[in-house]
Structure 1
Amino acid sequence: MSRPKNQNYKGHGLSKGKEREQRASIRFKTTLMNTLMDVLRHRPGWVEVKDEGEWDFYWCDVSWLRENFDHTYMDEHVRISHFRNHYELTRKNYMVKNLKRFRKQLEREAGKLEAAKCDFFPKTFEMPCEYHLFVEEFRKNPGITWIMKPVARSQGKGIFLFRRLKDIMDWRKDTRSSDDQKDDIPVENYVAQRYIENPYLIGGRKFDLRVYVLVMSMFTSPTWLCKKHLPTTTQRRAASGCCSASGSTWRPNTGPRQWRHSSGTSTTSLSKACRVCRR
């Protein structure tokens, strides 16, 4: 595919020095009409571009990006708020696939000792395609808790815990429908992951830490880490096993309604709390 020329570019006889002077400001566009728009408009040196004008930075959501820019070549200087293949990291099954691939690459290039350091995620299987591999691992470690997560949902939706294979048989039967039904109703993929039953806690509560990282490229490049983080804790203390039983199916107490923000917690006090409150 040939690279199309910028249809919106209007030539002029300015020298390169004057051209750089005019481009000292960052020209931005956005499809979102929320707080983001206010921030960009009040940022010094940032200028909003209307209609079909040339831009340097485009902030949009992933669905709009896919519909409008999926097969578009762009100039090297322009930036968009999402990577085209962002789902390689944001979907749970693809993220695990890439982590496993990275670990194998480490083993080939740096040896088994270096690859062994890549142990920060638990045993994970994509369901239903890796169901038999999962069953084999499940039977090696009877009595432990596993967690099932939909690969493309968030905020705790569709998540459940289990300790017996029969607890997920109903889910597995739903995926083994007739060929006619498969054409009409796509099977929702899950990941089955060994549940961390002894996590770090803050004051007896589970938490997550929102860390903002600016990744400049998918290839080797500087990565910028924001020093200020946003910790979020559950409203209820973690129960035994960090989950509450409801019949034969267990559900984690990490639903979106049970979280609360604690922006006043500093990074220093958070790290101390992690050391003190680990169970």
Structure 2
Amino acid sequence: MVDFQILSDLHLEAPPAYDIFDIPAKAPHLALLGDIGNIRDEGFFSFIEAQLRKFRTVFFLPGNHEPYHSSWVEARNKINAFTREISQRAPTEGLGEFVFLERTRYDISDAVTVLGCTLYSHVPADQEERVSFGLNDFYHIDDWTVQAHNAAYAEDLAWLNEQVASIEPQRKIVVFTHHSPITRDPRAVDPAHAGSVIGSGFATDLSGEECWKNARVCVWAFGHTHFNCDYVVEDDGEAKGRRVVSNQRGYYFKQAGDFNVEMVVSV
């Protein structure tokens, strides 16, 4: 049995709360699925390091807010530099392992594999203009356009499909993403935003993709939507029995319902 404590969308950047937000350790492995804060903030990496003093493993993948007022290139460079620093310090300082999920496979046991990436979303041509003007990402991330967003989504999706298809058949697969793979199931979609003209900036229907259809994917956890869910797929072909999880805090002044800082998922 492998236990993961799963959180996302803490938004500790506004108001700044890196030094006061507490995550009580209820599992050996912590998964932070994006929009934890902003990588340019002084307290961001200190917050991550504080978790490494409590958890055996901290999985982290960036959401769209991590590179605000910066670029994706700079954000990845800073996270990679932090990864190298922690790996050097960990043996002497008793730190856990930091795993940067950037199209990353991590075999956490002989039977369980973690696959993680941001995923992004696919914005169709008829929504490009509305999404471009309607999402802050395209104002606050340097050199970021809907076209770049779609290209990153295509790369992440191709990687996920290839990994899921090729992983050893005896393994269970846990998928961590920031963006949502679901657009139609009301259990995973905020009714307040159903049918939104900018909805494609938040989620993409992956029901026809290998990464969703493959029966070995036993858990898929995501964030970004500020709408929480925890259910088991009951009637979706090969995906039947999969647990779908989203555990997002949301903005401090507009928090998502049913957020649980102690939520643990067992595989």
TM above 0.5, one fold? no
Q: TM-score w.r.t. structure 2 length?
A: 0.25
| Larger Rg, first or second structure (1 or 2) | 1
Q: TM-score w.r.t. structure 1 length?
A: 0.24
